[in-house]
Structure 1
Amino acid sequence: MSQHAERSSSPRPHLGRVRAEPKREDRAVTTLELFLDLVFVFALTQVTAFMADHLTATGLVQGLLVIALLWWSWTGYAWLGNLVEADEGVARIGMFAAMAAMFVLALCIPEAFDDLPGGLDGPVVVAVCYLVFRMLHLGLFYLLSGDDSGLRGQLLRFTPAVLAGTALLLVAAGTDGAAQTWLWAAALAADYGGTWLGGARGWRIRSARHFAERHGLIVIIALGESIVAIGVGVALLPISWPIVVASVLGLTLSGALWWAYFDMTALRAERAFAATPDDDRARFGRDAYTFVHLPLVAGVVLLALGLKKVLEYVGDTEAHGLADPLKGVALIALVGGVGLYLLASVAFAASAGAAVERVRLVVALLLLPLAWAGSALPALAMLGLLTGVMVALVAYESLRDAEARHRLRHEDGHAATSA
């Protein structure tokens, strides 16, 4: 009997008196989880707009902190949806409540650090929404843990980090300036660090397929945000050849990032994840997916910001000339976003047990001098150069790994299906 069959035939976990359906090994992502992701993608568009309106080093750091906050909110429900079916019983009600909290939080992102005149206090609303989101997540996990003493113990170790992070965020809402930014960083450090120090053994991964697919879909959503940024950047401008060229280059660059993740890396990781013994799956899920996918998503959001600014440069001829180069934060976002994505993909492959992708690592490091040289290149030329580098990278990897790719995507896939 295959390992998959053994897991599928294992006894269903007892969930006490709470009505819920345990997640099965062969179950895919539910439509309700995709519904939550729609709220998440709206939040990402809000972050891109926030950074575009605060195009300074401080604005960039604050935008990255908001991404980390949103990611930690989202990923908790990826773990919850792997314990039970998200669209069944009490989990369904909890998911809708979580969507409401995230949506209100996303609405407040433009004033997450600086309250706008009138209405409610924006930073306080963000902090309260995050508190509600995390308390819902923690409470649902307690309800659904049933008689699982290992999971209950993990939740007890996890709770102080949740309380510390949310408390610091509430304190930050009452401050401003550098102190507020540092308190945000401290809140996230407490949340992330507490999870790391609490270990992973008590957490449960019931379906490797679901967990891997969940994170793959969120990468797609982030890449979709980069395409949305292209359209938003020129929505009110008359179409022109520079806009057409920049749009095609931006789409090609986003496609190259898709290729770098989905062509082989994601499949290899999912196979390694599925083959991991149950006792080690939680550690694998925490390291390779929960932690490493944050810089993947952050890199794409930074790229979206860079693309938005490039389209503004080439489209708004009254404010910019075609010879104008990207400078400062916009250039860092464009090139640094791709570099961060590549470094995260290397870490993802390595955490899944694959060999270190040295070529990607070298290309990511070479982007540093490229960013320096890019300050003298027209924005459109810089985008074309960056796109060419990424297309060359994925073309080289595809030719180099052609045989291994065929086995992974066809022969090994058929074998896994028939096992």
Structure 2
Amino acid sequence: MPAECPVLRERRGGHAPEVGAIELFFDLVYVFAVIQLSHFLLEHLTVVGVAETVVLFLAVWWGWNYTAWAMNWLNPENATVRALLALLMLFALGMAVALPSAFADEALLFATAYVLLQLVRSGFMVWACRGTQLGANYAKLLTWSALAGVVWIAGALADSDDRLWIWALAAVIDYAAPMARFAVPGFGTAPMPTWPLHSEHLAERNRLVFLIALGESILIMGFTLTDIELTAPVVAATVIGFAGLVLLWWNYFGYRITVERESDPEGARQTEIARSAFAYAHAVMVAGAIVLAVSIEQVTAHPLDHLDAPVVGCIAGGPVLYLVGNLIYIRARTGNLALSRVLVACLIVALAILALTTGIFTPIALAGATTLCMLGMAVYSSAIRAQVGVA
């Protein structure tokens, strides 16, 4: 990599580059995007609505994920890089603004903003890393993003009845690219070991975006409480929701990775591991935090109402999604299976089935039961100090 290029970070041995202030500034747009996604899901609690939310989330996440990876190499103190991130923020803001009507009147705004976010960033990286392996890699990534972009724009221009499946195809192309090693016929592939990476920088970026997703639950809780009467059931639901939020944080930050695959001196699999642990696993965990936010709003506003399938799905789905993502994360970084996560996820699924088939739970009761499951896992993990291969 050309060290004389001022837009690139200086590689300082094994030290991970610090997260720059401009990176944190960029993340502020995603506070708004996460709120928009949770509100979209809240207003579309149907099978189709959930599918639409998933597609929108995949685009929002991939835009953030590729930006976080690019900043592993870009110098956040450089004026050109800061201008780039400001432009990318504008595109991300366009996506976020369009989210509520992305499958209606704002489809073209959403798709155009997303495609520009992906193409401009990758194009900049091709220029910044010209003449290097990384530059060639980004050229292949740019090709895949352009291919997916054609499908995103086609979906925006298509009839609204066809938009979901077309955009789902576009998301598949985007997410399959790294698995296919960004292969371009006639130009070869970009294997993961050819992407030099400081995984700790990426880990810190993902920790911060997970906190953003958790913070969105706090906002929803606060807004909900200002609009309803603070009865005893509402207060109890608030306490349970807050406890569930804290436990999600506790279980995320309480599991210490003590032995990592990428600790080998060659780091041959470091980037491949980072792809699974951060690009994919954290997507599932952040999605879990978003669903948790929706369930907090539902339970707080209607703690004693009859439970229907969408509400059960949200109450159980948030923790289960988080646990699945956490399993992938731990498996990727250590090679071990966190059995406590498997057990608790199965227990929460069993509670959801019981709630749907018997009708013995109210929303607050099911939320309390799932929170107790997460509490048990937190206590267990803390008691054994999260020993890898045991927790």
Deviation at 1:248, TM superposition (A): 1.4
Change in Cα spacing, 1:325 to 1:40, as seen in structure 2 (3 Å) is: same
For the residues of structure 2 that align with 1:77 and 1:274, how far apart are their CA atoms? 25
Deviation at 1:273, TM superposition (A): 4.3
The equivalent residue for 2:200 is 209
Selected match of 1:96 from 86, 90, 93: 86
For the residues of structure 2 that align with 1:240 and 1:58, how far apart are their CA atoms? 34
Deviation at 1:296, TM superposition (A): 0.8
Q: Judge conservation of contact 1:18–1:143 (CA < 8 Å) in 2.
A: no
Selected match of 1:245 from 236, 239, 258: 236
SS of 2:288's equivalent in the other structure is helix
Deviations 1:240-283 (A, max 9, x none): 22222111111111111111111124x447x6546563443221
For the residues of structure 2 that align with 1:125 and 1:39, how far apart are their CA atoms? 16
For the residues of structure 2 that align with 1:60 and 1:105, how far apart are their CA atoms? 18
The equivalent residue for 1:143 is 127
The equivalent residue for 2:188 is none
The equivalent residue for 1:134 is 118
Selected match of 1:190 from 144, 154, 173: 173
Deviation at 1:234, TM superposition (A): 2.9
Letter in 1 for 2:17: R
Deviations 1:335-366 (A, max 9, x none): 01211110111111111124211121122122
The equivalent residue for 2:29 is 39
For the residues of structure 1 that align with 2:222 and 2:355, how far apart are their CA atoms? 23
For the residues of structure 2 that align with 1:27 and 1:160, how far apart are their CA atoms? 28
Paired residues for 1:13-412 under 5 Å: 13-14=1-2, 19-22=7-10, 24=12, 25-115=15-105, 122-148=106-132, 150-198=133-181, 199-205=191-197, 207-265=198-256, 267-268=257-258, 273=262, 277-314=266-303, 322=304, 324-375=305-356, 376=359, 377-401=361-385, 404=387
For the residues of structure 1 that align with 2:332 and 2:16, how far apart are their CA atoms? 24
Deviation at 1:184, TM superposition (A): 1.0
Deviations 1:304-356 (A, max 9, x none): 11111111213xxxxxxx2x233122221220121111011111111112421
Structure 1 unaligned regions, length at least 5: 1-12, 116-121, 315-321, 406-419
Q: Judge conservation of contact 1:296–1:345 (CA < 8 Å) in 2.
A: yes
Deviation at 1:106, TM superposition (A): 0.3
Q: Judge conservation of contact 1:20–1:90 (CA < 8 Å) in 2.
A: no
Change in Cα spacing, 1:240 to 1:194, as seen in structure 2 (3 Å) is: same
Q: Judge conservation of contact 1:80–1:86 (CA < 8 Å) in 2.
A: no
Change in Cα spacing, 1:15 to 1:101, as seen in structure 2 (3 Å) is: farther
Q: Judge conservation of contact 2:17–2:201 (CA < 8 Å) in 1.
A: yes
Q: Judge conservation of contact 1:15–1:147 (CA < 8 Å) in 2.
A: no
When structure 1 is superposed on structure 2, of 371-380 and 209-218 the one drifting more is: 371-380
Letter in 1 for 2:355: G
When structure 1 is superposed on structure 2, of 80-89 and 255-264 the one drifting more is: 80-89
SS of 1:235's equivalent in the other structure is helix
Deviations 1:205-258 (A, max 9, x none): 1x3321111111111111111222222333311322222211111111111111
Change in Cα spacing, 1:248 to 1:275, as seen in structure 2 (3 Å) is: farther
For the residues of structure 2 that align with 1:244 and 1:236, how far apart are their CA atoms? 13
Deviation at 1:75, TM superposition (A): 0.7
Deviation at 1:143, TM superposition (A): 2.0
When structure 1 is superposed on structure 2, of 131-140 and 26-35 the one drifting more is: 26-35
For the residues of structure 1 that align with 2:263 and 2:94, how far apart are their CA atoms? 36
Change in Cα spacing, 1:253 to 1:276, as seen in structure 2 (3 Å) is: farther
Letter in 1 for 2:214: L
Letter in 2 for 1:229: I
For the residues of structure 2 that align with 1:143 and 1:292, how far apart are their CA atoms? 30
Letter in 2 for 1:259: W
Deviation at 1:172, TM superposition (A): 0.8
For the residues of structure 1 that align with 2:155 and 2:32, how far apart are their CA atoms? 24
Change in Cα spacing, 1:279 to 1:354, as seen in structure 2 (3 Å) is: closer
The equivalent residue for 2:187 is none
Change in Cα spacing, 1:330 to 1:277, as seen in structure 2 (3 Å) is: farther
SS of 1:292's equivalent in the other structure is helix
| Count of paired positions | 374
TM-score (normalizing by structure 2): 0.90
TM-score (normalizing by structure 1): 0.84
RMSD, aligned CA: 2.0
